[in-house]
Amino acid sequence: MMKKPVFVLLASILFFGSCAMMQSIVKSTFPYTANMVIPASATVGEAHTALSTATSFDQDFTKDGNNAGKISEVRVISAKLLSKDPSNYNIGNIVSLRVYMGKADGSDEVLVAVRKDITPTVGNDIVLDIDNSHFLDDLVRQPNVRIRMVYLLRKSNNVDVSLKVSLSLGAYPRN
């Protein structure tokens, strides 16, 4: 038998979860993350591409992975790149990179972050320059979002490198 406080809590969660303000807060709180792999076979001086499906913690709370029906004006507000495996990989081994976000099939792809002339000694994490000139409303309403990273290596790797791209979004309630 369900107690009254538990019922009220569940009802509140369902009510606020369907509210546009709550959806915008949630979407603006949890970033989209994607794990990108740079293979050891990647050569220096050539543009390479890494693909991954982005996930966001808030996707776990909906049956279809989409909780963005009542938000609008979604833009990237920050982007970061972090070395995951090996954790001490120097991102300075990459000369430049561009990050694109698109639908799972690769359509409607837009540039969301870029970093040119990465310092050779930058370390294992960097902040990327965002391109927030595009609204991402349609993309965040998709159950799956694809991230594509195009990069140019300065120095080759002797092992496969895993990097984590983190894209924080800002959203407003839809009128």
DSSP the chain: ---HHHHHHHHHHHHHHTSHHHHHHHHHHSPEEEEEEE-TTPPTTSEEEEEEEEEEGGGGGSTTS---TTEEEEEEEEEEEEEEESTT--GGGEEEEEEEEEETTSTT-EEEEEE-S--TT--SEEEEEE--SS--HHHHTSS-EEEEEEEEESS--SS-EEEEEEEEEEEEE--
Q: Where are the domains of the chain?
A: 4-173
Question: Judging by DSSP bridges, how do beta strands 32-38 and 145-153 pair with one another?
Answer: unpaired
Taking residues 100-110, report their average pLDDT. Answer: 93
The single-letter DSSP state of residue 27 is H
pTM of the entire predicted model: 0.79
- Give the pLDDT confidence of 1-45 residue by residue, as tens digits: 456 676 666 555 555 555 555 554 555 556 889 999 999 999 998
Percent of the chain with pLDDT over 90: 51
In this structure, which topology does domain 4-173 adopt according to CATH? Jelly Rolls (2.60.120)
